[in-house]
Amino acid sequence: MGKITVEQILDLMDNPDTILIEENGQTIFAGYLATFQHHSAEYEAVKDKPVKHVGIRTDISHKRWKELGLLSPIEPDRLPEYSFSDLQLTIYRLVVIGKDEDKDEQTAMVDLREQTND
């Protein structure tokens, strides 16, 4: 199976989607897809890299997170001063990039199915 690149995955998403790009456990970008693709030097640097995993990351945060000693939201500057019951839920499409040193989960599941069919 051929490798899927960051550019190919992002081409399947919509501009208002919020995305989170991670490489080697570090956040490369968090924000709107359109901002990443059209106004980001990071995009040019990673667009041809292979994708290891695609998923969803949720971010539930309180507008007074700092004052209450809670975990920081993924994008603290984007948290509005208002929200329902003082909470905001943001769903990010997670794209993890980097070298494919380990078998991915899908390949491992295929291997498991092949073993059980023998």
Sheet containing 26-32: give its strands across. 26-32, 18-23, 87-97, 51-62
Q: What is the pLDDT of residue 1?
A: 58
Flag the least confident range among 4-8, 20-24, 57-61, 112-116: 112-116
Q: According to the model, what pLDDT value does residue 86 have?
A: 67
The pTM is what?
A: 0.64
**Confidence at residue 23, expressed as pLDDT on a 0 to 100 scale:** 93
pLDDT digits 0-9 by tens, 93-109: 788 887 655 544 444 43
Between the alpha carbon of residue 17 and those of residues 23, 80, 101, the distances in Å are: 19, 17, 29
Q: Which positions ≥6 away from 58 have C-beta within 8 Å?
A: 89, 90, 91, 92
Q: How confident is the model at residue 110 (pLDDT cuts 50, 70, 90)?
A: very low
Query: 65-101 pLDDT, tens per residue?
Result: 888 888 887 877 775 655 556 667 787 878 888 765 5
Q: Among all chains, which residue has been given the structure tokens 């399947």?
A: 12
